[in-house]
Amino acid sequence: MKFAELATYFEKLEATSSRIELTNILSELLKKVSKDEIDKVAYLLQGRVVPFFEPIEMGMADKTVIQALGSSYGVEIEQVNKLNSQLGDLGLVAERLSNKRQVTSNKLLVTDVYDGLYKIATSHGEGSVEKKISTLSDLLSGLDPKSAKHLIRITLSKLRLGIGDPTVLDALSVAKTGDKSHRKALEEAYNKTSDLGFVAKIYWSFDSAQDALEAVKKVQLQVGKPVRPALAERLPNAQEVIKRVGGEFAAEPKYDGFRLGVHKKDDKIWFFSRNLENMTHMFPDLLEAVKREVKAESFIFEGEAIAYNPITEEFYPFQETTKRRRKYGIDEAITRLPLKIFAFDLLYLNGKDITGLSYVERRKKLEEIVPGEGTVLVAKEEILHTADELLKMFAEQVTAGLEGIMIKKLDSPYKAGARGFHWVKFKRQAAGELSDTIDCVLLGIYSGTGKRTQFGVGGLLVGVYDAESDSFVTVSRIGTGLTDDEFRKVNALAQKIKVAHKPARVNSLITPSYWVEPKEVLEIFADEITRSPVHTAGKAGDEPGYALRFPRLVSFRGADKRPEDATTVKELAKMYDQQKKVKVS
């Protein structure tokens, strides 16, 4: 396939916001993609050349892209800068310059462009900037205006197609079968590997839809590819927990640290964050501890890393623990904030995917390979039977400064990326009602007035994830409850992800001072969930959406959560219904 044809489909995707239409356009595109190209097209649809967990970025800022544009089109840098100031989008600048030069060449294939982008992303060291500029300039010379626009947007990680991974998975199934019947199997394979190109290539390797489905169903965990974490459900009280999980269940402390997937194979160890980021380089102390303490040839386990005071043996709150996520000053951070990791589930052991085993069996194997003393510990577990026992343990953990407890069904398998009642989180309790925080996604910024002009931020527009439409919908504006330092931190974060136009995946009736990419997750506490006609979370027709009353910022989740792992509209609706029941009673 020529890249120009792919760009034509990018144009169609950019021009619509209908989930159904997006899926149909994508499926039409994918039908034309060969077995040799499918993984590359899958990555390009994500604006990438490798999976998200591989630390390979294009590494080209606006300044270097402007140099490549000037070089390719024979235009002075000043002119490119002027156009960029007018259009606010270097993709549109490339399109304009290509039109002026009447560049109509369409000789480059998708594989040619992919290889060029991969070369750009992997160029490092002395002379790498010049190589990146030269490679991009050469690619531009072989592309028509529309193709040039999308090439530049991919290069700058600003591809605006209005699709997320769920839409791509739908389209793969529709392209192969004519419907979404294979979506569940594709999603399960993706949740196990977090590698869209890998899954697409396996699925595309078979002409027969049935053979393709069987191949995808056989996908197992891969050491070195992060597993999308299993997610817990919420329940309003202890009695409801017993109804769901039965008369015998496991309960563990809910540590307020950051979740890590720990992988080992052939003496190589990886640490992956909850949002699939490779964080191995940040934790040399944990790496040595895992290597020294965990007794198995290969494994994947999940745990919660939490900083502690080695003198008092007390654990620090989440805000302190997150300071260990850093690229520089690591040795100093290790000394000041040593970590312990509490392993709570084992997914893979000595070459075998064991997610299909029951929780009890997985826990037993975990205890066999983790000695239970040192830096790597097995999370404390109690087998409980009644609501009273649950409440007693909950009170003990809150008194100890932890968030609450995690409850697990003893016979449950591990479901990567899935939310269900295999796991239930039981958090802060007040007046018989479970009062939980909500994970929101930062969508936009309101400029400050008065004193807040010095911060650059006067308010935040936040939203939640709508899984049905694969989009982010608004739920609140937050203008109070932040400290001066938090306002400054929001401004610093927002400047890094600021965009000129409303992101394609954002559904909002409100327009802030400026939009940001929906990437940053914030933990929010509110007095209650209400209904509002101005917010789009759960809004249907004339029905009002959900909104938060008196929202306050609790913490920045940062790299701990992907935006798609934020609270969903469906969860918000459940919390709203639970809240109403408590008021009635």
Provide the strand spans (E) within 336-470.
Answer: 339-349, 352-353, 376-378, 382-384, 404-409, 419-426, 429-430, 433-434, 438-446, 459-466
Beta-bridged to residue 530, according to DSSP, are: 547
- Tell me where in the chain the CATH 3.30.470.30 domain(s) lie: 231-434
What is residue 435's predicted lDDT score, i.e. its pLDDT?
57
What is residue 496's predicted lDDT score, i.e. its pLDDT?
85
- Residue 304 marked ligand-binding: yes
15: Cβ contacts below 8 Å, ≥ 6 apart: none
| Closest alpha carbon to 23 in 165, 176, 168 | 168
Alpha-carbon distance of 153 to 159, in angstroms, equals 5
- Residue 252 marked ligand-binding: yes
Helices (DSSP H) in 159-208: which residue ranges? Answer: 165-177, 183-193, 196-204
H or E segment to which residue 553 belongs: strand 552-556
- Residue 206 marked ligand-binding: no
Residues labelled as active-site residues? 254
- Residue 502 marked ligand-binding: no
Q: Are 564 and 164 in contact (CB under 8 A)?
A: yes
| Cα torsion through 440, 446, 447, 453, rounded to 10 | -50
| Closest alpha carbon to 5 in 24, 36, 30 | 30
Alpha-carbon distance of 121 to 123, in angstroms, equals 6
Tokens coding 188:
């399960």
Tokens coding 124:
């490092």
Alpha-carbon distance of 557 to 294, in angstroms, equals 28
Beta-bridged to residue 426, according to DSSP, are: 405
- Rounded to two decimals, the pTM is 0.83
Alpha-carbon distance of 32 to 163, in angstroms, equals 19
Give the domain 438-584 fold: OB fold (Dihydrolipoamide Acetyltransferase, E2P) (2.40.50)
- The DSSP call for residue 316 is P
- Tell me where in the chain the CATH 2.40.50.140 domain(s) lie: 438-584
| Closest alpha carbon to 57 in 253, 318, 263, 278 | 278
- Residue 425 marked ligand-binding: yes
Alpha-carbon distance of 10 to 524, in angstroms, equals 36
What is residue 433's predicted lDDT score, i.e. its pLDDT?
43
What is residue 420's predicted lDDT score, i.e. its pLDDT?
79
Q: Are 208 and 238 in contact (CB under 8 A)?
A: no
H or E segment to which residue 117 belongs: helix 110-121
- Residue 274 marked ligand-binding: yes
Residue 515: strand, helix, or coil: strand
> Other C-beta atoms within 10 Å of 404: how many?
21
- What single string gives the DSSP state of each residue in 249-294? EEEEEE-SSEEEEEEEETTEEEEEETT--B-GGG-HHHHHHHHHH-
Burial class (CB in 10 A: 0-12, 13-18, 19+), 31: exposed
Profile the chain (585 residues) by mean pLDDT over runs of 10 residues: 95 87 95 96 94 86 94 92 90 91 80 96 90 95 93 90 91 96 96 97 96 97 95 82 91 89 95 90 92 95 89 76 78 84 96 96 96 89 94 86 87 90 74 64 84 76 92 91 82 86 89 91 87 92 89 76 88 82 53
Q: Which amino acid belongs to residue 272?
A: F
- How far does Cα 207 stand from its chain's mean position? 32
Tokens coding 276:
């699939």
485: Cβ contacts below 8 Å, ≥ 6 apart: none
Q: Are 218 and 186 in contact (CB under 8 A)?
A: no
What is residue 398's predicted lDDT score, i.e. its pLDDT?
81
Give the domain 231-434 fold: D-amino Acid Aminotransferase; Chain A, domain 1 (3.30.470)
Beta-bridged to residue 515, according to DSSP, are: 444, 499
For 529: left if phi > 0, alpha if psi spans -120 to 50, otherwise beta; the answer is beta
- How far does Cα 31 stand from its chain's mean position? 28
- What single string gives the DSSP state of each residue in 369-407? HS-SSSSEEEPP-EEE-SHHHHHHHHHHHHHTT--EEEE
Tokens coding 431:
């007046």
Residue 488: strand, helix, or coil: helix
What is residue 434's predicted lDDT score, i.e. its pLDDT?
40
Residue 465: strand, helix, or coil: strand
Burial class (CB in 10 A: 0-12, 13-18, 19+), 479: middle
